[in-house]
Amino acid sequence: MEERKIVVPGEIIVEGESFLPGDFVRKEGNYILANKYGLAEIEGRLVKIIPLSGVYLPRKGNIIIGRVTSINYRGWLIDFDGHYNGFLSLNEVPKFINKGELRDYLDYGEVVYAKIIEVEGSSTELSLKFKGLGKLEGGQLISINSFKVPRLIGKEGSMISLIKELTKTKIIVGQNGVVWVKGEKIEDEIKAKKIIKFIEENSFVSGLTDNVKKFAEKLEEENE
């Protein structure tokens, strides 16, 4: 694989008939052009861009973490750091709820771990009717760029289990870039938060796992 380089919109990434445009690039004549600011990656014939910034784009099937911002008689409006709020319908929770009792199940400001079941225009439909989903109680929320979520999770969840091990906390990562952290002590949560922010900033520096370990040791020393 070639070394990744930063490209700007409209920049020619490669020239050649045989290349195929992937995410955030387009083909014009013989050129593959960037449509977004980010890191260009060429894998065989496929050319794509890993964005360095930008708002989360909801996709069907994504599991996200959001917060209740509004309640109406049909369900809850969930803010998940997208460009528009998502909607969790009364029919999409695993329990029967009487009208007027919505606040007893999920109140304003409470945090949910939900799945996107439909994206149409500006409306994003959410559901809790899958295994492992539901309300997240206590803990803290951390927002990172959604394009850096794969780095935070690591290969087969290696990075996230490393952080859990180092900080003795429970962590859930939403694909929208919102991370929920809960530890027995508040210090553990703060430590996890610092490590997550470190990964976000250094996500494209090689040897990330070793750097994270060193960073955690440094935090440990500072505490003592």
Partner 1 sequence: MNKESSYKKRSDGREFNEIRPIKAKVGIVPSADGSALFETGKTRAIAVVRGPRTLHPQHMQDPLKGILRVNYQMMAFSVWDRIKPGISRRSLEINKVIEWALSEIVDLTEFPGSVVDVLIQIPQADAGTRVAGLNAAVMALAQAGVPMKEMLSAVAAGKIDKTLVIDVNKEEEDYEEGEGSTDIPLCFGSFSKKIYLLQLDGKISIENFKEILKMGQKASEKIYKIQVEALKNPGKEVRG
Q: Which residues bind partner 1 (CB under 8 A)?
A: 6, 8-12, 24, 28, 33, 35-38, 51-55, 57, 83-85, 121-122
Tell me the closest approach of the beta carbon of residue 197 to partner 1, in angstroms.
13
Nearest to partner 1 of 59, 214 (CB atom): 59
Tell me the closest approach of the beta carbon of residue 18 to partner 1, in angstroms.
21
Q: Which of 142, 183, 143, 137 is nearest to 164 (CA)?
A: 183
Q: Is the dihedral of CA 81, 49, 62, 120 positive or negative?
A: positive
CB atoms within 10 A of CB 131: 6
Do 87 and 120 form a contact (C-beta atoms < 8 A)? no
Tell me the closest approach of the beta carbon of residue 76 to partner 1, in angstroms.
16
Q: List Cβ neighbours of 188 (8 Å cut-off, separation of 6 or more).
A: 167, 168, 169
Tell me the closest approach of the beta carbon of residue 57 to partner 1, in angstroms.
6
Nearest to partner 1 of 13, 181 (CB atom): 13
Tell me the closest approach of the beta carbon of residue 78 to partner 1, in angstroms.
13
Cα distance between residue 35 and residue 100, in whole Å: 47
Nearest to partner 1 of 38, 174 (CB atom): 38
Q: Is the dihedral of CA 50, 53, 55, 61 positive or negative?
A: positive
Nearest to partner 1 of 51, 134 (CB atom): 51
Nearest to partner 1 of 85, 203 (CB atom): 85
CB atoms within 10 A of CB 6: 13
